Structure 1
């Protein structure tokens, strides 16, 4: 990227899975000047290796946008060893490494140690910026350690949206069976035990807040429940932080959004939605989640419940 070309803004959507990050990211990607790319941290495994469908409906290897981006990123040469990059990221982003990450941060060192693969990751964002020319790249990769990798990549101007959802709703969603829609089979999304989803909810959300406090001015914290209650207001708030035009939004009503084709590489199945989409609160957990399970999740996440403004009574 030349010195005259401004660094692209990358909006990192952070939090835990099943918190509404995909639908929010997809809507933001409909704004003029913005491009939603889904969870790019998964592109190595789900794109290069497993050839999942892009948000446009084509396999990753056949999507004209990603074909051009990959060719441009690596100058027409053979792309990096996707398996090696994927394994490296899996190792560096593990929750068990969080204590050492925090210590490194407190000592003034990079929370996630630099690695040669970082240049290969950065090349994709640079190519996206140079070919598609978005003012903002919306990346819903969620995991805070991945955000710390992005934060120091050359040519990236990082902003953060922290999405939080009631941990009981989050845990209930992790137990649902959902077909991915990424391939011509009935593959389903990962399911987590209550204790695992609860632990992730606490660790990731507190870590996002520790690393990117709202006071920095480049961070917006959004509760899922507030987003689905006032989606237009939420999207406009984030757009204003990014300097995007809020006079033309995809909303055709307070809760109706017109979705156009995206080129997202991973995420919740709703990234494939097209046309007019109605946003509705997902409150099934309130009537379908057994009381004992609700109590277990509430106990595991009690400090965070109060901290992020949720009532102990569900």
Structure 2
């Protein structure tokens, strides 16, 4: 059975950073956003986190061979049809309340299970990390009997997330030809509520869940990583965290299948909170997001006023 640490939450919440640091731990293999593997990597041949094209990456070649006898044997059209049938936000209520899942759910989840198992075998890892984030995918994976699913629910202040979604970011894996998706603050606020609520619903269905606030993670990454290691069933020693220093982490080459540009970072990565939204997100937009997300911001321990938020960071 594949042990999978699934990083969930809305994009721009810090999941790629958490994934990269988890990938430095012994016994862990970080795979990036596996949800995009089928199109961006197998079909479009975008760049792996190691910098090579997916088709040229030795790690992913071995994974594909072990899982399917080669990636050419994967019916991508079938995967996409299954995705459309079961892995959509609108399907979450049905997936969460069903006594038994439809056959399509098991079939779709089995594609992921084969990738996870192969990656663990090729890397020699006990735990694989999937930073796909999608709440609907997590609801699908919980039905797979061959997956030991453990979810890390990564939460970031909705106002910081909203500001991040407004920024223009190029996708280096397409050699700068494309940009990452952007949302208005109002749109991102609605998505923040929906995705985080969906993970709360998943916890009520008995899936092991560990909530991680992005801001707290950056305040003390070593202790937070240690706690995540315990949650994943790892036996970490203090020296296993030596790659994390005072305000930085040293990263090796990784093999993230997809994700934000940080997945290409190698060497010393500064660890600091990005609080630019407090200065740069217009006051009316900040208030809008704060109002729309107020109940859940309170539930996660975030202050609603900017003055309280500033005091929290001192």
Q: Same fold (TM over 0.5)?
A: yes
- Aligned pairs (5 A) from 1:1-314: 7-76=1-70, 78-104=72-98, 108-110=99-101, 114-212=105-203, 218-244=208-234, 245-247=236-238, 248-314=240-306
8 Å Cα contact 2:30/2:129 also seen in 1: yes
Instruction: Give the distance between the partners of 1:40 and 1:230, measured in 2 at CA.
Output: 28
The structural deviation recorded for 1:301 is: 1.1
The structural deviation recorded for 1:287 is: 0.1
The structural deviation recorded for 1:136 is: 0.7
8 Å Cα contact 2:152/2:209 also seen in 1: yes
Instruction: Give the distance between the partners of 1:191 and 1:55, measured in 2 at CA.
Output: 22
The structural deviation recorded for 1:194 is: 2.1
Question: Cα 1:70–1:217, aligned 2, differ >3 Å: closer, same or farther?
Answer: closer
8 Å Cα contact 2:171/2:261 also seen in 1: yes
Question: Cα 1:290–1:235, aligned 2, differ >3 Å: closer, same or farther?
Answer: same
* Number of equivalences: 304
Q: Which residue of 1 aligns with 2:309?
A: none
The structural deviation recorded for 1:96 is: 2.6
Segment drifting more, 85-94 vs 197-206: 85-94
The structural deviation recorded for 1:8 is: 3.0
The structural deviation recorded for 1:253 is: 1.5
Tell me the SS of whatever aligns to 2:287: helix
Tell me the SS of whatever aligns to 1:114: helix
Structure with the higher fraction of residues in helix conformation: 2
Instruction: Give the distance between the partners of 1:171 and 1:111, measured in 2 at CA.
Output: 35
Tell me the SS of whatever aligns to 2:31: strand
Instruction: Give the distance between the partners of 1:304 and 1:119, measured in 2 at CA.
Output: 33
Q: Which residue of 1 aligns with 2:312?
A: none
Question: Cα 1:250–1:40, aligned 2, differ >3 Å: closer, same or farther?
Answer: farther
List per-residue Cα deviations over 1:21-43 (Å, max 9, x = no partner). 00101100110110100010110
Unpaired segments ≥5 residues, structure 1: 1-6
Instruction: Give the distance between the partners of 2:73 and 2:187, measured in 1 at CA.
Output: 35
Tell me the SS of whatever aligns to 1:157: strand
Give the TM-score, by structure 2 length. 0.90
Question: Cα 1:146–1:52, aligned 2, differ >3 Å: closer, same or farther?
Answer: same
8 Å Cα contact 1:169/1:283 also seen in 2: yes
Instruction: Give the distance between the partners of 1:217 and 1:121, measured in 2 at CA.
Output: 17
8 Å Cα contact 1:232/1:255 also seen in 2: no
The structural deviation recorded for 1:193 is: 2.1
Instruction: Give the distance between the partners of 1:61 and 1:217, measured in 2 at CA.
Output: 34
List per-residue Cα deviations over 1:243-281 (Å, max 9, x = no partner). 322321253423211100111101111111110111010
Give the TM-score, by structure 1 length. 0.90
Question: Cα 1:11–1:24, aligned 2, differ >3 Å: closer, same or farther?
Answer: same
RMSD: 2.1
Question: Cα 1:183–1:102, aligned 2, differ >3 Å: closer, same or farther?
Answer: same
The structural deviation recorded for 1:90 is: 4.3
8 Å Cα contact 1:39/1:267 also seen in 2: yes
Instruction: Give the distance between the partners of 2:76 and 2:22, measured in 1 at CA.
Output: 28
Question: Cα 1:76–1:19, aligned 2, differ >3 Å: closer, same or farther?
Answer: closer
